[in-house]
Amino acid sequence: MAHVSDLIETDINQYLENHQNKNLLRFITCGSVDDGKSTLIGRLLFESKMLFEDQLAAVESDSRKFGTQGENIDFALLVDGLAAEREQGITIDVAYRFFSTDRRKFIVADTPGHEQYTRNMVTGASTADVAILMVDARKGILPQTRRHSYLVSLIGIRHVVVAVNKMDLMDYSEKTYNAIVEEYSAFAKQVGIENVTFIPMSAYKGDNITSQSEAMSWYRGTTLMGFLESVEIDEQRLQKQAFRMPVQWVNRPNLDFRGFSGQIASGIIKPGMKLRVLPSGKESSIARIVTKDGDLEEAVASQSVTITLADEIDVSRGDVLVDAVEPAEVAKQFETTMVWMHEEPLMPGRTYLMKVGTKTVSATVMDIKYQVNINTMEHLAAKHLDLNGIGVCTVSLDQPIAFDKYLDNADTGGFILIDRLSNNTVAAGMINFALRRSQNIVMQHVDVAKEARSQQKAQKPCVIWLTGLSGAGKSTIANLVEKKLFAMGQHTYLLDGDNVRHGLNKDLGFKDEDRVENIRRVSEVAKLMVDAGLIVISAFISPFRAERAMAREMVEEGEFVEVFVNTSLEVAEGRDVKGLYRKARRGELKNFTGIDSPYEQPTNAECVLNTNETSPEDCADKVIEYLVEHHYV
Residues at the binding site for ATP are 468-475
Among left, alpha and beta (phi > 0; psi -120 to 50; other), residue 115 is: alpha
User: Judged by CB, which is closer to ligand ADP: 456, or 499?
Assistant: 499
Burial class of residue 479 (count of CB atoms within 10 Å of its CB; 0-12, 13-18, 19+): middle
Q: CB of 467: closest distance to ligand ADP in angstroms?
A: 9
User: Judged by CB, which is closer to ligand ADP: 246, or 594?
Assistant: 594
Binding-site size, ligand ADP (CB under 6 A)? 17
Taking the C-alpha atoms of residue 18 and residue 588, their distance in angstroms, rounded to an integer, is: 74
Q: Does 278 bind ligand ADP (CB under 6 A)?
A: no
Per-residue CA distances from 249 to 255, 289, 307, 317, 403 (Å): 16, 15, 11, 5, 18
Helix 143-155 × helix 174-191 angle, to 10°: 50
> Which of 470, 410, 430 lies closest to 592 in space, CA to CA?
470
Query: DSSP for 30-70?
Result: E--GGGTHHHHHHHHHHHTT---HHHHHHHHHHHHHH-SST
Q: Does 614 bind ligand ADP (CB under 6 A)?
A: yes
Q: Does 575 bind ligand ADP (CB under 6 A)?
A: yes
Q: Does 577 bind ligand ADP (CB under 6 A)?
A: yes
Residue span 80-99 as binding mask against ligand ADP, x where in contact by CB under 6 A, dash where not: --------------------
Taking the C-alpha atoms of residue 3 and residue 220, their distance in angstroms, rounded to an integer, is: 28
- Judged by CB under 6 A, the chain residues 517 through 546 that form the site for ligand ADP are 539
Q: CB of 543: closest distance to ligand ADP in angstroms?
A: 12
Q: CB of 150: closest distance to ligand ADP in angstroms?
A: 47
29 and 96 Cβ atoms separated by less than 8 Å: no
Q: Is 542 a catalytic residue?
A: yes
Q: CB of 468: closest distance to ligand ADP in angstroms?
A: 5
User: Judged by CB, which is closer to ligand ADP: 123, or 467?
Assistant: 467
Taking the C-alpha atoms of residue 436 and residue 587, their distance in angstroms, rounded to an integer, is: 46
CA dihedral 60, 64, 66, 69 (to 10 degrees): 90
Q: Does 476 bind ligand ADP (CB under 6 A)?
A: yes
Per-residue CA distances from 20 to 4, 15, 103, 266, 461 (Å): 15, 9, 11, 21, 63
Q: Which residue is nearest to ligand ADP (CB)?
A: 473
Contact window for ligand ADP (CB under 6 A) among 224-232, 334-342, 370-378, 610-618: 610-618
Query: Among 201, 225, 315, 477, which residue sits at the site for ligand ADP (rule: CB under 6 A)?
Result: 477
Angle at 143 between CA 138 and CA 144, to 5 degrees: 90
- What's the first-to-final CA gap in the chain, in angstroms? 71
Query: Among 67, 200, 413, 471, which residue sits at the site for ligand ADP (rule: CB under 6 A)?
Result: 471
Query: Among 36, 279, 389, 473, which residue sits at the site for ligand ADP (rule: CB under 6 A)?
Result: 473
Query: Among 104, 474, 515, 527, which residue sits at the site for ligand ADP (rule: CB under 6 A)?
Result: 474
User: Judged by CB, which is closer to ligand ADP: 156, or 471?
Assistant: 471
Q: CB of 479: closest distance to ligand ADP in angstroms?
A: 8
Burial class of residue 422 (count of CB atoms within 10 Å of its CB; 0-12, 13-18, 19+): exposed
Contact window for ligand ADP (CB under 6 A) among 179-187, 245-253, 267-275, 468-476: 468-476
User: Judged by CB, which is closer to ligand ADP: 477, or 494?
Assistant: 477
Query: Among 616, 621, 622, 624, which residue sits at the site for ligand ADP (rule: CB under 6 A)?
Result: 616
CA dihedral 99, 241, 415, 511 (to 10 degrees): -120
Helix (H, G, I), strand (E, B) or coil at 186: helix
**Phi, psi for residue 245 in degrees, rounded to 5:** -145, 110
Q: Does 595 bind ligand ADP (CB under 6 A)?
A: no
Contact window for ligand ADP (CB under 6 A) among 262-270, 382-390, 520-528, 615-623: 615-623
User: Judged by CB, which is closer to ligand ADP: 31, or 473?
Assistant: 473
Q: Does 475 bind ligand ADP (CB under 6 A)?
A: yes
From 542, 568, 597, 615, the catalytic residue: 542
- Is the sign of the CA dihedral 519, 520, 521, 523 positive or negative? positive
Query: Among 190, 230, 499, 615, which residue sits at the site for ligand ADP (rule: CB under 6 A)?
Result: 615
- Residues annotated as catalytic are 542
Binding site for ligand ADP (CB under 6 A): 468, 470-477, 539, 575, 577, 611, 614-616, 619
